[in-house]
A = this chain, B = another copy of it.
Amino acid sequence: MNNASFDDTLAALREVLGEDGVRVGAAIGERSMTDWTKHAATRPAALLLPRTVQQVARALAICNEARRTVVPQGGMTGLSGGAIPRASDIALSLDRMAGIEEIDTASATMTMLAGTTLQTAQEAAFEAGFELALDLGARGSCQIGGNLATNAGGNRVIQSGTAREQVLGLEVVLASGAVLSSMNKMVKNNTGYDLKHLFIGSEGTLGVITRAVLRLRPQRAARHTVLVAFDAYDKAVDLLRRLSAQFGSDISAFELMWPDFFRFGVSLTASGRSPFAEAYPLYALVEHASFDAADDGESFSAVLGELLEEGVILDAVIAQSVSDAEALWAIRECTAEFPVKLDPVNFDVSLPTGVLGEFVDRCRAALDEKWPANESYFFGHIGDSNLHLTVDGRSVPDVSHHTIYAFVYDMLKPYGGSVSAEHGIGLLKREFLAVSRSPEELAAMTAIKAALDPNGILNPGKVI
């Protein structure tokens, strides 16, 4: 092992990255210290700001040689602490490696550097006459590299899959400094192991993503939004199934809201009033998106009418305008206010769709029995088998967040559920990873980590 002094390492890094490419001490701003969770803000030992893939490669080679640990950082919008440094870590920011490099309309692909924000990529795709089928609340700040490192989910998964499904090619720098360039633009390519899928979702523990080729989709020209009410979870599954059978991936959102969540959401809207005259046991916000600009949503409304008659749904409010649709979405988007209005203990679990409703009922009963004063909010992207639960820590002031995590995850195991549907494991869920993965799986992950990062310099303490 080369036990170079930290000063020697910094000098070598400055030689590669220039004086302004290496920061230490007070020159490192708060943004590099923690993510959107605000957990454990820590100033790293240094912050690297490379401008090229070659600089990333040489910087990692120096750190690997000196056995200095490196935390890759994107837009710092993560929700599981995957980019939070320790005081001894060197942070490596992709901020200066941004930009769309190519849009290939024949292949319907887009090539970009990892530091490009999601919104920049979305806008460039749109201008070229396409849609990038990845969207999430942090779009203005989050970066493509981070989106892929965490396999981000977001608003369009029911239609086009998670971030993973948008990726055709990837460039990754390994801990050794080797540049793994798999900038494939083809839908079909069966030449050896599919390395890209290993790096996507590995949260910076196997390599630093520096470039990507993403698939583009045709633009959806018409959107139709409806809020529906049910008397039971099974009816919601029935509706989802019936709409999918009729409209396939034209169903672009299916957001189920349990009453506590719905009431909270309504209370934060401009009117403060429910669109329905009465309260129901369950609500869903459903969106239909058509490629055909001339589609006025009549066929969608007609099917809803039939299902209303059949009793699958109890009530429906169809948006008649864009502002109607925005008002309905405002209820669901109250989640943006959670950090302000609550002390949120957030869960981002997944369960097979068939048992998700039963889990909510059992989970609520168990929470109420254990902590009668708890205020908890359930909603889910049930087409993606994804349930979000937020417990307001203020309602159970004597209970630690950790205790609540452990209580809920413990209930998840018998359902074959996963502790993270979309936010990832990072730092915050690492101790609960074994709820969802077997000892054999963890051993395989550890073997792969050792094979690709033998000195363990990449994002230590995260995921595994």
Q: Which residues of A contact B (CB under 8 A)?
A: 104-109, 129, 150-151, 153, 157, 161-162, 164-165, 174, 178-195, 197-198, 200-202, 206, 217-219, 237, 241, 244-250, 291-292, 299, 350-354, 381, 383-386, 416-425, 429, 433, 436-438, 440-445, 447-448, 450-452, 463-464
Q: Which 5 A-B pairs have the closest CB atoms?
A: A106-B354, A197-B197, A451-B451, A186-B385, A188-B421
Residues of B within 8 A of A198 (CB): 193-194, 197-198, 448
Please tell me if the beta carbons of B433 and A352 are within 8 angstroms of each other in the complex.
Answer: no
Interchain CB contact under 8 A, B179 and A440: yes
The docked-state distance in angstroms from the alpha carbon of A384 to that of B188 is 6
Which residue in B194, B217, B463 is a CB contact (below 8 Å) of A192?
Answer: B463
Residues of the B chain whose Cβ atoms lie less than 8 Å from the Cβ of A246 = 218, 291-292
Residues of B within 8 A of A433 (CB): 191-192
Find the B residue at minimum CB distance from A443.
Answer: B178
Chain B contacts of A187 at CB under 8 A? 157, 161-162, 350, 383-386
Task: Tell whether, in the assembled complex, residue B188 and residue A385 are in contact, meaning their CB atoms are under 8 Å apart.
Answer: yes
> Which chain B residues border A201 with CB–CB below 8 Å?
190, 192-194
Whose C-beta in chain B lies nearest to the C-beta of A463?
A: B192
22 CB < 8 A contacts A-B: A109-B352, A157-B188, A174-B444, A178-B440, A178-B444, A184-B418, A186-B352, A186-B386, A187-B385, A189-B350, A190-B423, A192-B441, A193-B444, A195-B444, A197-B198, A198-B448, A218-B246, A219-B245, A246-B292, A444-B452, A447-B451, A450-B451
Question: When A180-B444, A195-B445, A444-B195 are in contact, do A189 and B418 touch as well, CB less than 8 Å?
Answer: yes
Total identical chains: 2
Given the complex of chains A and B, what is the CA–CA distance between A180 and B427 in angstroms?
24
**A218 with B248: in contact, given A436-B189, A437-B191 (CB under 8 Å)?**
yes
- Interface contact A440-B186, CB-CB below 8 Å: no
Q: Say yes or no: A188 contacts B202, CB within 8 Å.
A: no
Are A190 and B245 within 8 A (Cβ)? no
Residue of B nearest to A165 (CB): B165
Q: Contacting A181 at CB < 8 Å: which of B417, B440, B448?
A: B440
A190 contact from B106, B150, B182, B206, Cβ within 8 A:
B150
Contacts of A202 in B (CB 8 A): 193
Given contacts A186-B386, A188-B384, contact A245 B352 (CB under 8 A): no
Most chain B beta-carbon neighbours within 10 Å: one of A247, A420, A437: A437
| Min CB gap A299→B, angstroms | 8
Chain B residues with CB under 8 A of A248? 217-218, 249-250, 291
A236→B197 CA distance, assembly (Å): 31
Given the complex of chains A and B, what is the CA–CA distance between A151 and B153 in angstroms? 24
